[in-house]
Structure 1
């Protein structure tokens, strides 16, 4: 019986800081046996990973999955090989249109196991420029300061 639920293996923490995310989609992955074992041990990196659509197929590039320690060299895999992603043709065509027309990028946000199968969460995103990053930082700081002021008022109100 396969595990039910979702077990996140690796996340792309840099993605939410560097990109403005518009839409997310789940895709399956075509992996070799040693890649699955390494992925179960959380030996993967998504920091520089990106997706390309080529000939009606989506490929995950620059995703590093380390070699499995206990496999023989003949059954081992290449750590940085492109991985084919599994989506319906309609979904691929829709993503292709949005990438071409709107100038968006497909990036992986996380890799996880769902019901025993390896999945990757993809996002249609646009890279933030420096002004957007500064604006987001200023907004976050203003929100924190407002929250502090509210909590100070609440504490003063209870002590009176």
Structure 2
């Protein structure tokens, strides 16, 4: 039987792998992004990284900080392209109020998880998260190693049969 790899779909632009290692993700939400034209063109070429980005709630609006969208070489010279500018996230008022309630808990934060296309629009998957302790990370690593060893052993047994 062929090995099934978990592939990132063709619609995914960027993925924050580190977030799931550092945080417990309790809930995920889909938010739209307010972008400029040159940013959309750069996203089509996947010239973005969201690993060091973070989300902040400020005056009943949610903003994405630290996401780096590199401008294309062919971008117009009259456009002032700031790769690390603050971008507004587009959410309903109800969703913002729910997020505000969750964030007021101790240790809770909002993390950018994935950037992707849906029907020609750029969406950002954000997660309501709590930080992991170092022993939680070690436990996750042990579990992942054990799962890998288990799969390897089962594969060897299946080949012998």
**Normalized against structure 2, the TM-score is what?**
0.86
User: For the aligned residues, what is the CA RMSD?
Assistant: 1.8
Contact 1:34/1:76, CA 8 A, preserved across alignment? no
Following TM superposition, by how much is the alpha carbon of 1:150 offset from its aligned partner in structure 2, in angstroms? 4.0
Q: Which has the higher helix share?
A: 1
**1:97 equivalent among 89, 98, 101:** 101
- Match of residue 88 from structure 1: 92
Unpaired runs of at least 5, structure 1: none
Mark the structure with the bigger radius of gyration.
1
Would you say 1:74 and 2:78 are equivalent positions?
Answer: yes
Give the distance between the partners of 2:66 and 2:103, measured in 1 at CA. Answer: 19
**2:51 equivalent among 47, 50, 53:** 47
Q: For residues 134-149 of structure 1, what are the structure 2 equivalents within 5 Å?
A: 134-149=138-153
- Match of residue 25 from structure 2: 21
Unpaired runs of at least 5, structure 2: 1-8
Give the distance between the partners of 2:10 and 2:97, measured in 1 at CA. Answer: 27
